[in-house]
Every structure is written in structure tokens, then in C-alpha cells.
Structure 1
Amino acid sequence: MSYDKKSYKYIFGPVSSRRFGSSLGIDLSPDKKCCNFDCLYCELERAKAVTKIENPPSVKDIIVELKEALIEFKNVEVITLTANGEPSLYPNLKELVEQVNRVKYTQKSLILSNGTAVLDKDKFEAILDLDIVKLSLDSAVQRTFRRIDRGIDKIDISNLVSKMSDFRRVFLGKLVMEVLVVEGFNDTKDEFLALNEAFKIIRPDRVDISTIDRPPAHNAKGVSTAILHELSSFITSAPIALASRKGLADKLDFNLDELRKLLKLRPQSKFDIENNFTQSSKLVLQQLIKNGEIKEFDLAGSAFYKIK
């Protein structure tokens, strides 16, 4: 049964996410797009950047719907705070997070933020109580960051990275960073080396790297899966998940020693292995598992492998 049939206004799903598992979403801006960025790659309609959500739903109304949804879908893994825009612009964010945590069962609570939540003291404190926080950082180069994300305020990238690092130090949940690659903007080695330095400071649990795979509101293009994979090789400071709908055309082939070295350098996601490894490499992985050399672990809903 879908939520369209039940005419829920704020809850949608369940949605199967490659990154976080089965999720019920909460739309904090159901009437129109409200975001403090106007990103080149945004899949929503073009809209002027704003600093607040117009006509925000009440916490009470959201929680009433969420309680019903959790009865209907007991097996969902995640409750996701999202919006037609930036969910951290919701004015009653701390109260909402508290109420979501109060009514959920075994589900994890998650927010999908463009990263600016850490720049505001109240929002910073509100999202501390979530189980998973996803923050975007499309570039660690000032000029590129402004060209891609086009925020309403002039954000200093060094300060943003510093605040994200401050958040990491006190946040007890899982911190996931996301990079969305736009052709001709942040698709170079230098861009990703700069991002790697930023992630050394932030110390996220996981970095998701993706590209445009639906028509954006602006004239922007994505890159190929092969380029995504090449760029990801420059991120050595955190486990990587390639959030691509397509696998590599030329699959990755490893012998036993090569795969040991790869997994020692950087954990690999189960999704990437399934989509990007040759069959012989998968058999090598199974041999390492059988030998007891590899550990499977969960990072914010995604399975990863690493050397013990």
C-alpha cells in the first residue's frame, strides 16, 4: 500500500535506498522548494535561494502521520528527514528530532543536509541527536564550491570544513559525507585531492560519491561511472561508496595479493564489489572471507569489507 492512497502529506515511502536501506521519508517542505542553495545539479525546479521554509508543517501533524506509518511499515530501517530543499531550514528541528526519536522503534533517524546545518548553533545542536547525519561537500575549493552550490550566503569553505570537523568531534552517530560530481566543475584530480584533505580534517565514517543521473533544473551534466571510479581513488582518508546506478563497463580484476592490498588501503562497499568486480575477483574475495582475513561491517546502512 502506498502513501498516495492514504493521502499522507508529509510521509512518503518506504523507499529502498542503496546508501541507507529501507526508509520512510519526512518532507519538511511539501508545498514548494525552500533551500539556501540553488545547486547546478538540483533535480527540483529552479528557485531563488531562501533562508526559511514557507508554511512549515507542525511537529504534531508530522508525528501523527509518522506513528501511523510505523504501524503500517514496521520493518523499515531508517526515518529520513528531507525536504523539497534543505531540511535543516525547518524552524522546529530540535523538537522534531526529539519526537521522532521518541516514537521510532528500532529504526535509525537520518537527515539529508547540504552541510550548512553545522554553521548555525541551534541546528548544529538539533542534529546531534540523530543516528545518522549526511552532509554534502561538493568541493573544498572556494571558487568551485560557489559555482556549484550557489548559496544565498557567501560561505567560507575553510570555516565550513572546520565546523564539520567540530560536529564530528561531538557527534556520537554515523557521519556520512556526499560529493556530487558535475562535469567541468569538480571532476578533476586536484578537486578530489583537495576534498581528501578536507575529509582528513572532518573524519567522516563514509564518503558517498555520485553524479547527475536525472535531468537537473540547470544546464549541468554528470560524468561516467569510469570517471567516478577514477576520482574516488584520490579519496584515501575514508571508506568510499560509489552511488552510481551503473557498474563499470571494464570490471576490476584482482588476484589474492592485490585484493588484500586494496582492502588494507581502503574498505570496499558490497554494492561496489557486486557491480564493479570481475567474477574471478569476487571468488578471490570469497577465498579471503573463508580464510578469515576479511571482516564485513556496517557503515550507516551500507555493508563494507576490510582486512581484519
Structure 2
Amino acid sequence: MQTLKYVYGPIPSRRLGRSLGVSPIPKKTCNYSCVYCQLGRTNKMTNERQEFFKLEDIIAEFKDYLKHSDGFDVVTVVGEGEPTLYSRLGELVRTLKSLTTKPVAVITNGALLNDKKVQEDLMEADIVLPSVNAYDDTISKKIDRPYGRIKFEDILNGIIEFSHKYTGELWLEIMLLDGINDDKHSIEEYKKLLKKIKYTRLYLNTPVRPPAEVYINMVSKENMKYAVEELKGISIDMLSDGAFYSEIDDNHEAVLSLCKRHPMNQFELRSFLNSRKVSNIDEVIEEIEKDEKINVIDYKGIKTYRLK
């Protein structure tokens, strides 16, 4: 198989099972610079939709992948930035669906859901997973740090409007951060907001990988439990992880490919190498830690490997 540029995984997803990723966006290209982002700070802020990569190239790679494997549960358009910035998203999703019987999902920050063309594009997906991290403009600026003049009110109105049009599965996610949006007042505000949105599931998350900003912390178990009970949501932390997988034969290159989109902690890395029956795991890890393309971050005593 050729070196993969747009297709990666499958990656274990606690929501989606074995998720085969399709990335139509260059690294860190987004209209948010979220304080908790596991890829680090956004360095290509934009709110302009473009065909960053040729649709035909993405599809050709996906077709090539399918010749070798169908060991995945869902195709997820996500990648290293905000996928709704891809101007041919609707065509991409529609074509992916024509090539596989597996569901096609799109993970989005929701910032462009007030754009009618984006809504139309997302109608093609089986599952749409938007984030709703804020409940007002102040919290949005603290957590999402949106591009330019993006207003939270417009984002929310877009999510509400889309939710009442969309006929697929709408799975919302709220990222809870210690001391920012996990108090009782915030949970009450989310409760009011959620009443306006028509959704299938609500997931509650908190950073388990090194965030973009060092002052960001996970919420306490007590606060997560309170949020789960009050908002009738599912804590992602309570869902089980799967196993990482890569079609790339070289162990070092396989790890780099996975870490590019999905940072791995020390346990996931060792488990991944074990699954490939690597006999010299410690040596491979040592070489990975020496690789100048990799950042090794110690977060709460656990090493996480992230591509620079």
C-alpha cells in the first residue's frame, strides 16, 4: 500500500469504535484555537472554506485502502483541523458513502453550522458530532477562542437550526474544564441551551491528553458525575478504549502516522507495538523519543507522544 496522506487508522474511538479517519484539512487549520486541543495551538486560523486537497486524491487513497482492509466500524471525516472548512465536504461524504456500507461520520466544532451550504453538506453524513463547549460568548472566547468576528450566538443558532433539519444521528459533545465551565451555574446554563437542540446523544468530555494550554485541567470525578446526572449525558471517560491500528509496515513510521492526528500516551503506544508483535519494544520507544519530529509531553506523570 502507498504511504497514506489523507486516510489513517483505524483509531480507537470511545464513541465510534474502530474509526477510520479521513483528513481533508492541513494540520492545525481551524477557525478555533481551543485551549484544550490535543494537537496544540492552532497556527493556521481561517474561516474561509477551501478545497485544501483535491477531492479526487482523497477518494483515490480511500479506494486503495479498501482494497487491503475493511476492518473498521465507521469512516470519520475529522483529521487535523476543522473539516467543515473543506469546501467539497458534501461531495466527499457522499462519495465515501457510495464506496462503503459502513456509516460515515463528521466531527465538527460547529462554528460553521450557521452556513446553509455547510448544513447542506452535513446532511449527507450518517452521524454528525458537533461540540457545544460554551453557553455564552465569554465562555466561548475562554475555551474555543474563535477566529475573528465569529460570535457564539451565531454558532448556537446554526446548531439549533441544523439539529431540527438533520435526519441522521446528532451526537453533541461538551468539553468540561476545571474551574471554567464545570460549576453548577454552568451546568444549569447548558441545561437551558440543550432544550433548544434536537439531538440523539450527549457526550461529556474532559482533557485526558496534554492540552494546548498548560493551565487547563481535567474536571473532578464529582463534578463530572454531577454534570452527567444533571444533563443526562454520557461521560466519555466511562467508555472503553479500543486498539490502535496502522497499515504501515515500519513500526516507527506507523507511530508517526498515528501521532500526527491522534496523540498516543505511553500505555497506548506500548499496547500498539504489542499488537504488532514487536519484540524490541523498548528500543523502538527509545528511537521514537529521540525523533525530532515527536514531542514527548509529561502530563500528570503520563508520557504522551505528539507530532510537532
Normalised to the residue count of structure 1, the TM-score between the two structures is 0.72
The answer on 1:57 being equivalent to 2:53 is: yes
Task: For residue 95 of structure 1, report the CA deviation from its aligned partner.
Answer: 1.7
Aligned AA (1:180): M
TM-superposed CA distance for 1:190, in Å, is: 1.1
CA contact (8 A) 1:161 1:202 kept: no
RMSD: 2.0
Residue of structure 2 in register with 1:102 after alignment: 98
For 2:146 and 2:24, the matched residues in 1 are separated by 20
Report the counterpart of residue 294 of structure 1 in structure 2: none
User: Cα offset for 1:81?
Assistant: 0.4
Which residue among 67, 82, 86 is the counterpart of 1:86? 82
> Separation in 2 of the partners of 1:221 and 1:17?
22
Of the three residues 207, 213, 229, the one matched with 2:202 is: 207
Counterpart check, 1:15 vs 2:8: no
- Partner amino acid, structure 1, of 2:9: G
Once superposed, which parts of structure 1, at least 4 consecutive aligned residues long, lie more than 6 Å away? none
* Corresponding position of 2:223: 227
Question: Could you tell me whether the CA contact under 8 Å between 2:10 and 2:72 is conserved in 1?
Answer: yes
Aligned-residue sequence identity (percent) comes to 29
Q: Secondary structure at the match of 1:119?
A: coil
| Number of corresponding residues | 238
Contact 1:181 1:187 in 2 (8 A): yes
Q: Is the 8 A contact 1:35 1:52 kept in 2?
A: no
In structure 2, how many angstroms separate the alpha carbons of the residues matched to 1:101 and 1:80? 11
**Pairing partner for 2:235 from 242, 255, 258:** 242
| Contact 1:36-1:50 within 8 A present in 2 as well | yes
- How much has 1:71 moved relative to structure 2? 3.2
SS state at 1:70 partner: helix
User: Can you give the 5+ residue segments of structure 2 that lack an aligned partner in the other structure?
Assistant: 241-308
The amino acid across from 2:161 in the alignment is D
C-alpha distance after superposition, 1:199-234 (max 9, x if no partner): 111021001101011111212111133321122222
Is the contact made by 1:34 and 1:53 (CA closer than 8 Å) also made in structure 2?
no
Matching residue's letter, 1:201: K
Q: Name the CA distance, whole Å, in 1 between partners of 2:199 and 2:150.
A: 21
Instruction: Give the whole-Å Cα distance in 2 for the aligned partners of 1:158 and 1:214.
Output: 29
Of 131, 136, 151, the match for 2:131:
136
Code of the residue aligned with 1:117 in structure 2: it is: L
Counterpart CA distance in 1 for 2:239 and 2:155 is: 32
Q: Which runs of 5+ in 1 are unaligned?
A: 248-308
Q: Residues 104-183 of structure 1: matches in 2 within 5 Å? A: 104-105=100-101, 107-183=102-178
Give the secondary structure class of the aligned counterpart of 1:230: helix
Specify the alignment match of 2:67 in structure 1: 71
**Aligned AA for 2:160?**
S
Matched residue of 1:151: which SS? coil
Find the residue that maps to 1:234 and give its secondary structure: helix
| Distance in 1 between residues matched to 2:86 and 2:58, nearest whole Å | 12
Structure 1: distance between partners of 2:235 and 2:191? 15
Equivalent position of 1:269 in the other structure: none
C-alpha deviations, 1:52-85, integer Å up to 9, x for none?
4787211111111112223333242211001211
Partner SS, residue 121 of structure 2: helix
Q: Deviations over 1:240-281 (max 9, x none)?
A: 22111689xxxxxxxxxxxxxxxxxxxxxxxxxxxxxxxxxx
Bigger Cα displacement from structure 2, 159-168 vs 49-58? 49-58
- The separation in 1 between residues aligned to 2:97 and 2:86, in whole angstroms, is 17
Using CA pairs under 8 Å that are at least 6 residues apart, name the structure with larger relative contact order, 1 or 2.
2
> Are the equivalent residues in 2 in contact too, given 1:24–1:80 (CA < 8 A)?
yes
Q: Which residue of 1 aligns with 2:262?
A: none
Q: Is the 8 A contact 1:161 1:201 kept in 2?
A: no
1:110 partner SS:
strand
What secondary structure, in the 3-state scheme, does the structure 2 residue paired with 1:139 have?
A: coil
- Answer with 93-102 or 107-116: which moved more: 93-102
In 2, the alpha carbon distance for the partners of 1:178 and 1:213 equals: 15
8 A contact 1:209–1:232 mirrored in 2: yes
Structure 1 counterpart of 2:21: 25
* 1:206/1:246 CA distance change after superposition, 3 Å: closer
Hey, what's the Cα distance between the residues in 2 that align with 1:104 and 1:196? 37
Whole-Å separation in 2 of the counterparts to 1:7 and 1:173: 33
Rounded Cα–Cα distance in structure 2 between residues aligned with 1:45 and 1:54: 22
- Residues 193 and 149 from structure 1, CA distance in 2 versus in 1: closer, same or farther, beyond 3 angstroms? same
Does the 8 A contact of 2:140 with 2:146 survive in 1?
Answer: no
Most deviating of 224-233 and 139-148: 224-233
